[in-house]
Structure 1
Amino acid sequence: MEVLTSADVNTYLMQQVIIRCTSTTRPSSPSEGWHIYETDTRRFLVYRSGSWVREGEIEMYAVKPSDETTSVTSMHNDPHLVLPLAASRTYWMDALLMVSGTSSGHNCVATWSVPSGASMLWASNHPVLDDPGVISVGGNRVNKRWYDQTGSINIRTSAGGGMGTTNAVYMTRMRGILTTGSTVGNLQFQWRASVGTITVHELSALRVQAIIG
């Protein structure tokens, strides 16, 4: 007669139920096909090919639930604009950012972190002044430069110029193509202040869509 241990029972139950957890307390050693519900992100995820992904979906979204402000000049991971990526897949990336600052100038430095072995080409509609990739079209400045996964841009901020006495909020869109290698990981938005205090606003969003694989 086979004797079941408590670990055997626990593993069996994990395979049969949806586990309730948060994005920081996911099961540490999941097996293929395990399901979780994250109470902080309100997402149902399944463990597939070494990564937590939304079940039955090829699109994933992350939306910033509140404003985040910093004057720190070292790059940091945005705690909300991050999405898990599977290995050996190609994704379309689309991000919409709303940024303001206490000083006028291109004072919010933004970039991306991708899984090891991944490659990405992306561009922004933001007018990056004095950049050789920028041209003038009918008096307007247009950014034509593409960046790889190591590139960064400086998003403009303006003291005042908003509603009442608030600082102006600039909207920036970033889009690109990302292909992962054999390593799973996250697409992570990163940013920092260059001068003054920078705010990335509520409802800034990140979307990825698997287009191959």
Structure 2
Amino acid sequence: MQQAFVVKPSDETVSSTTMQDDDHLLIAAAANTNYWLDAYVIYSGGDIRIHFTGPPSSTLQWNAMALNTSSTSSNPFDTIHIKSYGYATDLASGGWGSSHDMGLSIRGVLRGGPSAGTLLLRWALPSGESQAVTVRAGSTIRLTKLPS
């Protein structure tokens, strides 16, 4: 596989702070193979918290352009932050209500280990958030094989 691409076919809503596997944003990764990760998560409602899990003994380094969840401004776009993360390290991004779709632009490198497996997006509400969040149809995840 040189490239694999998944498009979320339907909306999915969560109203819990317990991390759950996305029903659609998961993608197979071969053993001993390195990939470029490119994803775009469309969401609406409350704030969202995300992280990835992946194949055994693999590593993932990723970052995302996300909105600060503690913004008190009427314009949440004035508090954009970018950080670098690994597996099971949560990123929280602010929401702007159910009538506004927001987007997380995610980039990273997956370094495959000796076992094949699945790269999977997990998400939930951040602690203290009470408004449900919906990950929208059309969200995407893509892996592109990197040269050895």
Q: What's the TM-score, normalizing by structure 2?
A: 0.86
Which protein, 1 or 2, shows the higher relative CO under an 8 Å CA cutoff with sep ≥ 6? 2
Alignment of 1:109-188 (within 5 A): 109-128=49-68, 140-159=78-97, 166-188=98-120
- Distance in 1 (CA, whole Å) between partners of 2:37 and 2:137 is 19
Unaligned runs of 5+ in 2: 71-76
Q: CA deviation at 1:86?
A: 0.5
Quote the sequence identity (%). 25
Alignment of 1:39-54 (within 5 A): none
- Distance in 1 (CA, whole Å) between partners of 2:29 and 2:102 is 28
- Distance in 2 (CA, whole Å) between partners of 1:127 and 1:70 is 19
Alignment of 1:79 onto 2:79: no
- Distance in 1 (CA, whole Å) between partners of 2:133 and 2:120 is 18
Q: CA deviation at 1:123?
A: 0.5
Q: CA deviation at 1:191?
A: 0.4
Partner of 2:146: 211
Contact 2:66 2:82 in 1 (8 A): no
Alignment of 1:90 onto 2:43: no
Partner letter of residue 112 of structure 1?
F
Alignment of 1:108 onto 2:48: yes
- Cα RMSD of the aligned pairs, angstroms, is 1.7
Alignment of 1:54-69 (within 5 A): 57-69=1-13
Where 1:146 maps in the other structure, the secondary structure is strand
195-204 vs 150-159, which moves further: 150-159
Choose from 88, 99, 117 the match for 2:43.
99
Choose from 122, 134, 137 the match for 1:202.
137
Partner letter of residue 90 of structure 1?
N
- Distance in 2 (CA, whole Å) between partners of 1:61 and 1:87 is 18
Q: Deviations over 1:36-69 (max 9, x none)?
A: xxxxxxxxxxxxxxxxxxxxx4000011001111
User: Hey, which of these two has a bigger chunk of strand by percent?
Assistant: 2
Where 1:183 maps in the other structure, the secondary structure is coil
Q: Deviations over 1:110-136 (max 9, x none)?
A: 010011111111110113356xxxxxx
Asked which structure has the greater CA Rg, the reply is 1
Paired residue total: 139
Partner of 1:47: none
- Distance in 1 (CA, whole Å) between partners of 2:18 and 2:143 is 26
Partner letter of residue 186 of structure 1?
T
Contact 1:59 1:208 in 2 (8 A): yes
